[in-house]
Structure 1
């Protein structure tokens, strides 16, 4: 486990090619974008992992807040909006949400939704700013892919609830990759 953690931490800066462009837009490219960069994959999985630690409607409200705010960020970016420190915000999302999934003890669901929503703006903005062509299909594709990654994180988090130390190790490893992305 320590060797895997060290390898991920050392390799993360080389993998941080988050937004090289999307090429032609469309549903398929939108679906592929969130799974082509480790920053996106890990942030989306961490949202689901964190949501799994809540009860009731919050389990779905937290990922839904991410998707809604990501769509708002997309619209802003696609219409020429700019956001300072965009890549740093995305890297910080991996750090903060990963560590929150591992260590945040019972904070209000509204606060968790606000945290993921704020970081979702960065992800959506990155998608929208680099968007070329037909935005609606591309947006639908990355929303579907994001929701699928949230669901995967949720199911991982649910499966790990009985093994808290594994859950914490996974969340901490995600956070460590986020830290290395910030320092890259």
Structure 2
């Protein structure tokens, strides 16, 4: 058991160093040697955990998504008797695009670029999207069942939300105006509440 914990810890240490270097230098400028130097281990030891750089990149994609799935779709407290308040808190948290703030865009888009050319990397993105959609669908159906929102098709709401949130994340990356971004977020939240017949 201890060996497995140590193995996972060392593996995560390598991935964390890789993540930070990609954020700083870009994927194309990060070598195994630079990763090893950043955490003061021999380069050969990285190959004990990842058989080649491609496997290391797949590990980075998993590491990135593990960091953001719980943040980008925050948990719903189903024991909260104030279901309306819980829905508002949930939407506020989703629209804060905290997942975008916790994941460095340079790392994310480097991984997207790889997924556009690499079948296995693309499958990882698809699997993450499905996992995120399923989690969000459970929450939307919960709020629908509680009578807080009104929608004929919860799956369509999930797709709508995921597209809006992705668009907001991209906007956040390129819009250097906090007040303007807040106005855009508020507009989309109001549209969503109207769409779902939610009355605050």
**TM above 0.5:** no
The TM tier, using the shorter chain, reads 0.3 to 0.5
- Relative contact order: is structure 1 or structure 2 higher (C-alpha 8 Å, sep ≥ 6)? 1
TM-score w.r.t. the length of structure 1 is 0.32
